[in-house]
Amino acid sequence: MGGGRSETSALSGAGEARGLTTTQNSQRPSACCFCWCCCCSCSWSEEERRKRRRKRISQDTKIDTKLETCPKPSVEEIRMWSQSFDKLMRNPAGRNAFREFLRTEYSEENMLFWLACEDLKQEINKSAIEEKARSIYEDYISILSPKEVSLDARVREVINRKMQDPTPHTFEDAQLQIYTLMHRDSYPRFLSSNIYKTLVLGRSRTSSEC
């Protein structure tokens, strides 16, 4: 009898332990949430990152709102932006318009990071290179930054190695990944946005009046 009760208690305890483990596991976030990937299957998707960023930016920091200085684009230039993402990004006015759109989606840091990398590529002074590289890392690579961009683990490892001796091309892989992300994720929505449509219609009317 005593042995039966002990066995029953042991089984009951094991069942409770399994129940507790199951409850803990159900409350524990998926391991995928801690990865750096931006795949659509990951629960830490770009859309989720935008939501988190929206809250963090509003609470913790102010993103530089200064746009590039450039002349107003012609209607032909504006229409060319829809032909390819490369044409849009090569045009300062195009980058400004796209950046305005990214701001509405709380992903302006992607353009800011890309521009910072372009600026770094033009630098030749070693101390300035190190200073700018450190600034880019702190602003856009660090997981503690509210302006952190979405990069995968491989690219982050490459950056960490290159930061030991920064060069103008330290963030080259990361810049390409963010460029690709903007091209595939944000660019199609930009072309359908009121921001782009208003630009096309506005410049078209101006040209017809002239």
Q: Which of 2-16, 80-94, 101-115, 143-157 shows the lowest per-residue confidence on average (mean pLDDT)?
A: 2-16
> If you search the block for the tokens 């595939």, which residue do you land on?
184
Residue 129 lies in a domain: yes
Residue 208 lies in a domain: no
The answer to whether 180 touches 91, Cβ cutoff 8 Å, is no
Portion of the chain with pLDDT greater than 90, in percent: 61
CATH code of the domain in which 192 resides: 1.10.167.10
Residue 27 lies in a domain: no
Contacts of 87 (CB under 8 A, 6+ apart): 80, 81, 94
The answer to whether 177 touches 155, Cβ cutoff 8 Å, is yes
Helix, strand or coil, per DSSP, at residue 93: helix
Residue 66 lies in a domain: no
Residue 95 lies in a domain: yes
Residue 104 lies in a domain: yes
Residue 186 lies in a domain: yes
Q: Which of 56-65, 105-114, 156-165 shows the lowest per-residue confidence on average (mean pLDDT)?
A: 56-65
How far apart CA 139 and CA 159 sit, in angstroms, is: 14
Domain count, the chain: 1
Residue 48 lies in a domain: no
Q: Is residue 38 pLDDT above 50, yes or no?
A: no
Q: Is residue 205 pLDDT above 90, yes or no?
A: no
Q: What is the pLDDT of residues 94-146, one digit of tens each?
A: 999 999 999 999 999 999 999 999 999 999 999 999 999 999 999 999 999 99
Whole domain around residue 192: which residue ranges?
74-201
The answer to whether 168 touches 120, Cβ cutoff 8 Å, is yes
Q: Which two tokens stand for residue 209?
A: 């009046």
